[in-house]
Amino acid sequence: MKQAVTVAPRSIEIHDAPETEQLADGQALLAIVAVGLCGSDLEMYKGTDPISRFPCRQGHEFSGRILALHDGYDGEVRVRDLVAVEPLLPCGSCIACRRGHPNCCVNLRVAGGQIDGALIERFIMPVRNLYRADDLTPEAAAFAEPVSIGLQMVNRSGVVAGDRAVVLGAGPIGQAVILAGRDRGARLLAVDRIAQRLELARATGAEMTVDAAREDVAAMVGAWTDGEGPVVVYEATGATAVMRQAIELAAHSGTVVIAGTPTDELSFPAMWLVRKELNILGSRNNAGVYGEAVRIVRENQAAVHRIVTHRYPLHQVQDAMEFAIANPAKTGKVMITIGQ
């Protein structure tokens, strides 16, 4: 059984892995089929993510086929089902978990983050983390993970049908926000500096796009909102300058949702917060919405397939990482294909 191990910054080796052990209660054995790479994967690979560790096995956006289920299992999923897999493993007992926020569990473990992930041919996960996806392609099923991130952001914002919302950053997470926001009936404007991403955002459902490299974002957003500003601004870049811009753009009584994770400090005039009575919210992972994310993917498979731009086999994971780092303007979602 083969696995891709990140052994040092910007160094991945293909290793043999021991065969999986006997399944414990509540577990399933999966043949991994597709694994998506995201921005946090690239940072872990470079050694610049706060949770980077070496050696490690990455991969937190994934789908698989069930090879075996624990003895006595009699639930919904079956052997040979294709499943979308939620990678979160919260403790269930900390203050966040007790208050219904397992997505920001104090002791959270994420497959492909704090613990080894899915860049391996076969992998064990809890059955409770599996969602049937036989009517999806493996790549679409894997993309349920970023859609769950976007859906969490949308849920945090409280956006409703007809609200005008701005998405700052039209990479895969921004595209996921567009899918989730459109599902809620919001009107969406996407901002990015890469023309290909803006074209994709329009295809995904953005009503309008703004090229931040060539256009005045504040002026364009102001015109689109009749001078009022957007009710919600979603920040999906991780850049503190963009976070500040989000706070500045938001309408009076508006909401800013931030999902990026920069390591530097965010600074803005405190009066913006008070005078406009803003809600500034963080958003992390997803809180009980994975099944809904799978539904959104199911209803938007054509859009999801457009977001996937490059595919690599398991033994070329390092090539995939390096390509994504070197070619952000050419890269949407990169998928690692492992099985069938």
> What is the tens place of the pLDDT at every residue in 269-297?
999 999 999 999 999 999 999 999 999 99
Q: What is the CA radius of gyration of the chain?
A: 20
Contact between residue 285 and residue 161 where contact means Cβ atoms under 8 Å apart: no
Residue type, 142: A
Mean pLDDT of the chain: 96
Q: What percent of the chain has pLDDT over 70?
A: 100
Position 225 pLDDT exceeds 90: yes
pLDDT of residue 264 exceeding 90: no
Structure tokens at 121: 């041919």
Between CA 274 and CA 271 the distance in angstroms is 5
pLDDT(250) > 80 = yes
Q: Would you call 177 helix, strand, or coil by DSSP?
A: helix
How far is 283 from 149, CA to CA, in rounded Å?
Answer: 8
- Residues in the chain, overall count: 340
pLDDT in tens, 295-338: 999 999 999 999 999 999 999 999 999 999 999 988 999 999 99
Per-residue model confidence as pLDDT tens digits over 207-221? 999 999 999 999 999
Please give the helix or strand (H or E) that residue 181 lies within, else none: helix 172-183
Cis peptide before 87 (omega within 30 of 0): no
Indicate if the pLDDT at residue 51 is higher than 90. no
- Residues 71-78, mean pLDDT to the nearest whole number: 91
Residue with tokens 């060539």: 214
The pLDDT confidence band at residue 78, using thresholds 50, 70 and 90, is very high
Average pLDDT over residues 250-273: 92
144 is written with which tokens?
């349920």
Helix (H) or strand (E) holding 147: helix 144-157
In the chain, which residue ranges form alpha helices assigned H by DSSP? 39-46, 95-98, 138-142, 144-157, 172-183, 195-204, 217-224, 240-249, 270-275, 290-299, 301-307, 317-326
pLDDT by residue (tens digit) across 176-211? 999 999 999 999 999 999 999 999 999 999 999 999
- Position 154 pLDDT exceeds 80: yes
Q: Is 199 exposed, middle or buried (0-12, 13-18, 19+ CB in 10 A)?
A: middle
User: 130 forms bridges with which residues in the sheet?
Assistant: 85
- Give the three-class secondary structure for 232: strand
Q: How confident is the model at residue 42 (pLDDT cuts 50, 70, 90)?
A: very high
Between the CA atoms of 293, 298, 299 and 305, what dihedral angle is there, to the nearest 10 degrees? 100
pLDDT in the model for residue 79: 97
Q: What is the pLDDT of residues 95-123, one digit of tens each?
A: 999 999 999 999 999 999 999 999 999 99
Q: Considering the entire predicted model, what is its pTM?
A: 0.95
Q: How many C-alpha atoms does 44 have within 13 Å on its Cβ side?
A: 26
What are the structural domains, with CATH classification, of the chain?
2-142+300-337 (3.90.180.10), 147-282 (3.40.50.720)
pLDDT (mean) for 47-76: 94
Residue 116 has, within 13 A of its CA and on its CB side, a CA count of 16
